[in-house]
Structure 1
Amino acid sequence: MHRKISRRDFMDGMAVAVGGAVAAGALSGCSAGSYGGIHNKVVTPPDGWTYAGAGNKSYPPAMTGLRGSVNPALRVPHELRDGIYWAGSKPVEDTGERYDLIVVGAGISGLSAAHFFKQRKPDAKILILDNHDDFGGHARRNEFRPNGNLLVGYGGSQSIEGPSVWSPQAKKLLADLGVQLQKFDRYYNQNFNKQWKLNDSEFFTRDLFSGDHLAVMQDDTQTARTLANAPMSAESKAAFLTLQDKPGDYLPGMSDEQKKLKLVDLTYRQYLRDYAKMPEEVLNYLQTYTSDEWGFGIDAFGAIDAWAEDYPGFGGLKLNRSKEPYKYCGPTIQIQWNEDDPYIYHFPDGNNGICKLLIGQLIPNTGAPQNMDAEPLARIDYSKLDVAGNDVRLRLSSPCVRVQHKGGDIDAGEVEVDFDRDGKVCRARASNVVMACYNTMIPYLMQDLPSDQKQNLFYGTKLPVVYAMVQLRNWEAWERLRIYHTRFTSGDWVVAELDYPVSFPGYQFSKDPSQPILVHMIRMATAPGDNPRGGVGPGRRDLFARPFSSFERTIRDQLTRLLSGGGFDPAKDIQAITVNRWGHGYALEYGRPWAPFWPDGPLPSVLGRTPFGRVTIANSDSQNRAYADAAIDAAWRAVSELG
């Protein structure tokens, strides 16, 4: 663990520590109190604001180290939040630019909004602003070049999930971009795990159990044999296997509806503890069961949603699963109620592929792909994204700092949009504005919003998450251990998995265990507790206070503990790391029991996204769902609301 990694071109000197001022409050989370109330606490920015990763800044996808929401992208938004940005003299420089539409935010939702607006007004002039040095929001591309050969991974939004139940507008956008889903039947190797005899697995960690232990599943299920050497008592193993294979009726004497309503009021952990009577060892073993998909553990995840997702423990209740979704289940579970799509609709760079195809239609001569097959190999020329004379201009590293109707009059025919460009405040004007940024920032940008609308926007805090892409020299250790994925019962990282086996014309996934591969690791940073909103602030503070070296060490540690039995050597086998840090990551999805207003309302997301004059609100958090189709749906709605 103390030996240097063989490739040091980005490792040496990477530990740009964001000092104690961060943990003390400078980056303490943008929720503005437990519910709302803008706070104006003045905090001096810590050292390290300039750190944005390592590599050629003119081509962000190939940068390594600590990426995602990098420090320069955070500085201005946090100064706005802390009430210090406008301190002193800040003259506004009028650029003279006038647009039909300005979009704040260049993620899937912002780019989709530009696309939908352009369809309605083909000659429209559009400016897209973003505070980051790359486009895509959480749909971020990570590139590596082992031995000079291109390897592509993703730093956030992962796949086109459940496309059969996407809205007509979202499906049409895919069609407009030339995304032919049937091609993934060929491009995604659905027999990869079977071909190499790889299995799912779980890793018992020594801080919760008597020691580390890798439990390799059989047909993606734990059995008495696969758990034989697991560091749990015989009683706990038997209890879990009963829960999984032959659960009892843990709510006897109740009708179908009474049982469901009881589950509505319980977290999954409460149900397992108080009704299924699972031992503490089983609760600890399952704590991270929901983390990578939902952003928090079983202590906050609703029992009603756990039942709907067929998690262990509900078969004995014999609940009726009707054709129509159960009303108290979460929004995504309701949308995907009857969906049975394979999880194969995945570009090598995840949903950044959608973003690149959008760029290809919006902005000419950037090198963006013009069709689906060209996407993995297409290289964007970032210098061509913001070119005078183009109908659509994308301006990165330009955080919006103020949005207001001309003269402060909501009935004015023009909106003034101020943004920071290299420390100067610049102003552009537009007939329409779509706020496709993190919704909790909007009250800081639009001071004239009604106070109750601000409060509802503040409620939509996002969950902190980290996606790491680790380039390995080979995957021989994985093949020897017969695993492709593992869930850790605790630790910095909840998941480690081989990248998805998808190949495109001219782009080939790793052919055999001797070749380089990317490993995807997930850290869900929400702190434990029965309400995920309460865990957001502590989790976010932890992320922003940690240097890259801390993430690097825990990656090396957990991969070594997981794979050492297969001959893995971190110093020799890890060749590069990109850590995509998202302090404002997953849009928090409403769910029982922690959100008692769901589903009958009033819903904070709906109240918060109310149009204000010529300004409408998009982004996935305005839909309270952390999915690409939610971001697209929000864009369609926001553009439609412009009239």
Structure 2
Amino acid sequence: MDRKISRRDFLDGMGVATGMAVAGGLLAGCSAGSWGGNHNATADPPDGWDYRGTGDPSYPPAMQGLRGSVNPAMRIPHELRDGIFWSGHKPIHATGERYDLVVVGAGISGLSAAYLYRQAHPGARVLILDNHDDFGGHARRNEFQANGKLIIGYGGSQSIEAPSVWSPGAKKLLADLGIQPKKFETYYDQKFNDRWKLNNAEFFTAEMFGRDHLAVMDGDTQTAATLKNSPLSPAGQAKFLELQDNPGDYLPGLSDAQKKARLVDLTYREYMRDVARMPNEVLEYMQTYTSDEWGFGANAFGAIDAWALEYPGFDGLKLDRSKPYKYCGPTVQIQWDEDDPYIYHFPDGNNGICKLLVGRLIPGTGAPATMEEEPLARVDYSKLDVQGNEVRLRLNAPCVRVRHEDGIVGAKTVLVDYYAGGKVHQVAAGGVVMACYNTMVPYLMQDLPPDQKQALFYGTKLPIVYAMVQLRNWRAWEQLKIFYTRFTGGDWCVAELDYPVSMGGYAFSKDPDQPVLVHMIRMATSPAYDNPRGGIGPGRRELFTRPFARYERTLRDQLARLLSAGGFDPARDIQAITVNRWGHGYALEYGRPWAPFWPDGPLPAVQGRRPYGRVTIANSDSQNRAYADAAIDAAIRAVRELG
């Protein structure tokens, strides 16, 4: 574990986390009801505020190490949150620039808002600001090289999920960009796992069960045979198989409506423990069952949604499934009848959507014109912010204040201040779309009504980490016959081979002796809380006080334990690592039992996204759904509200 990884030098000089308690205080999440000044100590992150990973900063997708929300991108937002940014003398430098629209945030929602605004107002001058060194928000591209061959991965937003149930406006935007989801039926190798006889798996960790054990499923299901040698006791195995294959009516004597009402008040873990009477070892085994998709464990995930998603334990209730129950979460209801395969995936995830948007907004950057061109298209970042262009994308430029001219909400001009080059600069705009994290909006717009600030704070995002690991080959995966593994515990809840997509001259790994990327997921929300909002702050503090070296250490450890029986050696077989850390990751989706206002309202997302003069609010936060279509829907609404 202490040997250096071949072909990489990005650990040189990395320090060890110090001052955990002080740093944790600085990097806590926003607190509802407190708009700045809620922390009185400043501490440096362990890798230093200037650390943004390693590699050439002029081409961010190829940088490695600790990426995602890099330290320089977080510094100014945290100073704003802590109420210290404006202390001292900070003169405002008027740039003389005036735009029809300024967009704060260059993620899917912000880029979509700029594109849609120009559709409605051809020739409009638009400035897009972002505090990061790359565009795309969570839809981030990760590039690697293996013997001169380009390997493409993603650092966040994965796929165009369930496109059949996207809104008409979101579908139209895809069509306008030339994205035809049906083409992925050819680009995505849907027979890959069958051809190599690869299966789902679950890894029992020694920390939780006394010994490590890989349980390879029969396809995607555990059986008595696949669990035979697992650390679950024979009684525990029998109880889980009952839950999965033959659950009884655990709520006898109740009507359909009464059973559903009972589920509304329970988490999935409470249902398994108190209703299905599962033993503790089964509860521990199932804790991370929901983690990678929803951002938190079974102890906080609602039983009503677990039933709706056909998780183990509900068949015996014989509940009516003809339509979604009103208390199911928003995505569960939207996707109730869809049956789309999970194949609509660019090699760089939804950064493909972002690159196509950049291509439409700013010609001449090298951004692609078609979906087939997207994988191999290389954006020239020096051409994103060029004087004279109708649309300019300004990176490394955190917005620090947005206010109407003369403080008059009815004014036709909005003044936008941003920080770059050690100075505060000001531009003027006819309108603004706030497509940044919604919890930052109250710090940028101090004159918002207090109730709107409170509502915006409610939507603080769940912390997540997506790591892309370049392996010399995937022979160990083939030997063990696995492609996806859920860990019952540990730092990382999932390790999986990247999706087999080949398109536009880009080819996925063809056989087990070729290099491949492995995607690893860490959901950082603390499991100590049955309400996921309670786990956000502690999880985010722990996430930000980690140096890259510790992420790498736990990643190597879990991969070695998972794959060693297949001949895997982390020092020999890991060639490169990019860790995409998102302190504000998944938009928090409302769910029972912890969101009692759902679905009847008032909903914090709806209250928080109210237009304010010539400023409107977008991002998936404002739709309380962590999906690309939600980000696009938010942009559609925000542009429409500008008029």
TM-score by length of 2: 0.98
Stretch deviating more after TM superposition (9-18 or 207-216): 9-18
Query: Which residue number corresponds to residue 549 of structure 1?
Result: 549
Query: Which residue number corresponds to residue 100 of structure 1?
Result: 100
Q: Which amino acid aligns with 2:44?
A: P
Query: Which residue number corresponds to residue 46 of structure 1?
Result: 44
Provide the C-alpha distance between the structure 2 equivalents of 1:78 and 1:552, rounded to a whole number of angstroms: 25
The answer on 1:289 being equivalent to 2:315 is no
Provide the C-alpha distance between the structure 1 equivalents of 2:183 and 2:539, rounded to a whole number of angstroms: 39
1:10 Cα deviation (Å)?
Answer: 2.0
Provide the C-alpha distance between the structure 1 equivalents of 2:373 and 2:172, rounded to a whole number of angstroms: 20
Q: Which amino acid aligns with 1:449?
A: L
The answer to whether the 8 Å contact 2:415/2:429 transfers is: yes
Provide the C-alpha distance between the structure 1 equivalents of 2:60 and 2:43, rounded to a whole number of angstroms: 24
Provide the C-alpha distance between the structure 2 equivalents of 1:14 and 1:508, rounded to a whole number of angstroms: 34
Query: Which residue number corresponds to residue 338 of structure 2?
Result: 339
Query: Which residue number corresponds to residue 117 of structure 1?
Result: 117
Sort the Cα spacing of 1:15 and 1:367 in 2 relative to 1 into closer, same or farther, 3 A: farther
Provide the C-alpha distance between the structure 1 equivalents of 2:394 and 2:41, rounded to a whole number of angstroms: 28
Provide the C-alpha distance between the structure 2 equivalents of 1:218 and 1:608, rounded to a whole number of angstroms: 46
Query: Which residue number corresponds to residue 140 of structure 1?
Result: 140
1:8 Cα deviation (Å)?
Answer: 2.6
Sort the Cα spacing of 1:267 and 1:253 in 2 relative to 1 into closer, same or farther, 3 A: same
Q: Which amino acid aligns with 1:207?
A: E
Q: Deviations over 1:455-499 (max 9, x none)?
A: 110111100000000000000000000000000000000000000
Provide the C-alpha distance between the structure 1 equivalents of 2:10 and 2:327, rounded to a whole number of angstroms: 48
Stretch deviating more after TM superposition (56-65 or 20-29): 20-29
Q: Which amino acid aligns with 2:240?
A: F
Provide the C-alpha distance between the structure 2 equivalents of 1:17 and 1:107, rounded to a whole number of angstroms: 30
The answer on 1:195 being equivalent to 2:188 is no
Q: What aligned pairs does 1:562-581 form with structure 2 within 5 A after superposition?
A: 562-581=562-581
Query: Which residue number corresponds to residue 441 of structure 2?
Result: 442
The answer to whether the 8 Å contact 1:201/1:217 transfers is: yes
Query: Which residue number corresponds to residue 587 of structure 1?
Result: 587
The answer to whether the 8 Å contact 1:37/1:455 transfers is: no
Provide the C-alpha distance between the structure 2 equivalents of 1:144 and 1:16, rounded to a whole number of angstroms: 26
Query: Which residue number corresponds to residue 68 of structure 2?
Result: 68
Q: Deviations over 1:367-419 (max 9, x none)?
A: 00010000000000000000011110000000000000000000111000000
Query: Which residue number corresponds to residue 641 of structure 1?
Result: 641
Query: Which residue number corresponds to residue 131 of structure 1?
Result: 131
Query: Which residue number corresponds to residue 451 of structure 1?
Result: 450
Provide the C-alpha distance between the structure 2 equivalents of 1:16 and 1:562, rounded to a whole number of angstroms: 26
Provide the C-alpha distance between the structure 1 equivalents of 2:18 and 2:428, rounded to a whole number of angstroms: 36
1:182 Cα deviation (Å)?
Answer: 1.4
Q: What aligned pairs does 1:416-565 form with structure 2 within 5 A after superposition?
A: 416-528=415-527, 529-565=529-565
Provide the C-alpha distance between the structure 2 equivalents of 1:422 and 1:494, rounded to a whole number of angstroms: 39
Q: Deviations over 1:553-588 (max 9, x none)?
A: 001000000000000000000000000000000000
The answer to whether the 8 Å contact 1:439/1:457 transfers is: yes
Q: Deviations over 1:258-302 (max 9, x none)?
A: 000000000000000001000000000000000000000000000
Tell me the secondary structure at the aligned position of residue 123 of structure 2.
Answer: coil
State, as a whole percentage, how many aligned pairs show the same letter. Answer: 74
The answer to whether the 8 Å contact 1:21/1:46 transfers is: no
Provide the C-alpha distance between the structure 1 equivalents of 2:397 and 2:51, rounded to a whole number of angstroms: 16
Provide the C-alpha distance between the structure 2 equivalents of 1:21 and 1:61, rounded to a whole number of angstroms: 33
Query: Which residue number corresponds to residue 380 of structure 2?
Result: 381
Provide the C-alpha distance between the structure 2 equivalents of 1:136 and 1:39, rounded to a whole number of angstroms: 30
Query: Which residue number corresponds to residue 305 of structure 2?
Result: 305
The answer to whether the 8 Å contact 1:501/1:509 transfers is: yes
Q: Which amino acid aligns with 1:174?
A: L
Provide the C-alpha distance between the structure 2 equivalents of 1:389 and 1:88, rounded to a whole number of angstroms: 34
Provide the C-alpha distance between the structure 2 equivalents of 1:75 and 1:604, rounded to a whole number of angstroms: 27
Stretch deviating more after TM superposition (441-450 or 43-52): 43-52
Query: Which residue number corresponds to residue 628 of structure 2?
Result: 628
Provide the C-alpha distance between the structure 2 equivalents of 1:19 and 1:358, rounded to a whole number of angstroms: 42
The answer on 1:185 being equivalent to 2:185 is yes
Provide the C-alpha distance between the structure 1 equivalents of 2:16 and 2:416, rounded to a whole number of angstroms: 33
Sort the Cα spacing of 1:309 and 1:83 in 2 relative to 1 into closer, same or farther, 3 A: same
1:420 Cα deviation (Å)?
Answer: 0.2
Q: Which amino acid aligns with 1:117?
A: Y
Q: Which amino acid aligns with 2:7?
A: R
The answer to whether the 8 Å contact 2:35/2:443 transfers is: no
1:40 Cα deviation (Å)?
Answer: 3.6
Q: State the aligned residue count.
A: 640
The answer to whether the 8 Å contact 2:23/2:44 transfers is: no
Provide the C-alpha distance between the structure 1 equivalents of 2:19 and 2:152, rounded to a whole number of angstroms: 32
The answer to whether the 8 Å contact 2:472/2:575 transfers is: yes
Q: Deviations over 1:43-97 (max 9, x none)?
A: 3241611000000000000000000000000000000000000000000000000
The answer to whether the 8 Å contact 1:18/1:46 transfers is: no
The answer to whether the 8 Å contact 1:263/1:271 transfers is: yes
Sort the Cα spacing of 1:22 and 1:388 in 2 relative to 1 into closer, same or farther, 3 A: farther
Tell me the secondary structure at the aligned position of residue 373 of structure 1.
Answer: coil
Query: Which residue number corresponds to residue 261 of structure 1?
Result: 261
Provide the C-alpha distance between the structure 2 equivalents of 1:49 and 1:311, rounded to a whole number of angstroms: 43
Q: Which amino acid aligns with 2:311?
A: Y
Tell me the secondary structure at the aligned position of residue 288 of structure 2.
Answer: coil
Tell me the secondary structure at the aligned position of residue 93 of structure 1.
Answer: strand
The answer to whether the 8 Å contact 2:345/2:501 transfers is: yes
Sort the Cα spacing of 1:420 and 1:20 in 2 relative to 1 into closer, same or farther, 3 A: same
The answer to whether the 8 Å contact 2:35/2:81 transfers is: no
Q: Deviations over 1:409-452 (max 9, x none)?
A: 00111000000012200000000000000000000000010011
Q: Which amino acid aligns with 1:90?
A: K
The answer to whether the 8 Å contact 1:36/1:459 transfers is: no
The answer on 1:359 being equivalent to 2:361 is no
Query: Which residue number corresponds to residue 158 of structure 2?
Result: 158
1:39 Cα deviation (Å)?
Answer: 4.2
Provide the C-alpha distance between the structure 1 equivalents of 2:296 and 2:447, rounded to a whole number of angstroms: 34
The answer on 1:610 being equivalent to 2:607 is no
Provide the C-alpha distance between the structure 1 equivalents of 2:598 and 2:34, rounded to a whole number of angstroms: 19
Provide the C-alpha distance between the structure 2 equivalents of 1:102 and 1:8, rounded to a whole number of angstroms: 40
The answer to whether the 8 Å contact 1:16/1:51 transfers is: no
Provide the C-alpha distance between the structure 1 equivalents of 2:22 and 2:165, rounded to a whole number of angstroms: 42
The answer to whether the 8 Å contact 2:62/2:144 transfers is: yes
Query: Which residue number corresponds to residue 215 of structure 1?
Result: 215
Query: Which residue number corresponds to residue 11 of structure 2?
Result: 11
Sort the Cα spacing of 1:430 and 1:507 in 2 relative to 1 into closer, same or farther, 3 A: same
Q: Deviations over 1:580-629 (max 9, x none)?
A: 00000000000000000000000000000000000000000000000000
The answer on 1:270 being equivalent to 2:270 is yes
Tell me the secondary structure at the aligned position of residue 300 of structure 2.
Answer: coil
Q: Which amino acid aligns with 1:285?
A: Y
Provide the C-alpha distance between the structure 2 equivalents of 1:633 and 1:375, rounded to a whole number of angstroms: 23
Tell me the secondary structure at the aligned position of residue 382 of structure 2.
Answer: helix
Provide the C-alpha distance between the structure 1 equivalents of 2:264 and 2:490, rounded to a whole number of angstroms: 29
Query: Which residue number corresponds to residue 317 of structure 1?
Result: 317
Stretch deviating more after TM superposition (41-50 or 146-155): 41-50
Q: Which amino acid aligns with 1:400?
A: C
Provide the C-alpha distance between the structure 2 equivalents of 1:325 and 1:3, rounded to a whole number of angstroms: 53
1:16 Cα deviation (Å)?
Answer: 7.1
Provide the C-alpha distance between the structure 1 equivalents of 2:43 and 2:124, rounded to a whole number of angstroms: 39
For structure 2, the residue ranges without an aligned partner over 5 or more in a row are none
Query: Which residue number corresponds to residue 89 of structure 2?
Result: 89
Query: Which residue number corresponds to residue 171 of structure 2?
Result: 171
Stretch deviating more after TM superposition (17-26 or 88-97): 17-26
Tell me the secondary structure at the aligned position of residue 183 of structure 1.
Answer: helix
Q: Deviations over 1:229-275 (max 9, x none)?
A: 00011100000001100000000000000000000000000000001
The answer to whether the 8 Å contact 2:291/2:493 transfers is: yes
Stretch deviating more after TM superposition (18-27 or 429-438): 18-27
The answer to whether the 8 Å contact 1:22/1:544 transfers is: no
Q: Deviations over 1:308-351 (max 9, x none)?
A: 000000000000011x3211000000000001000000000000
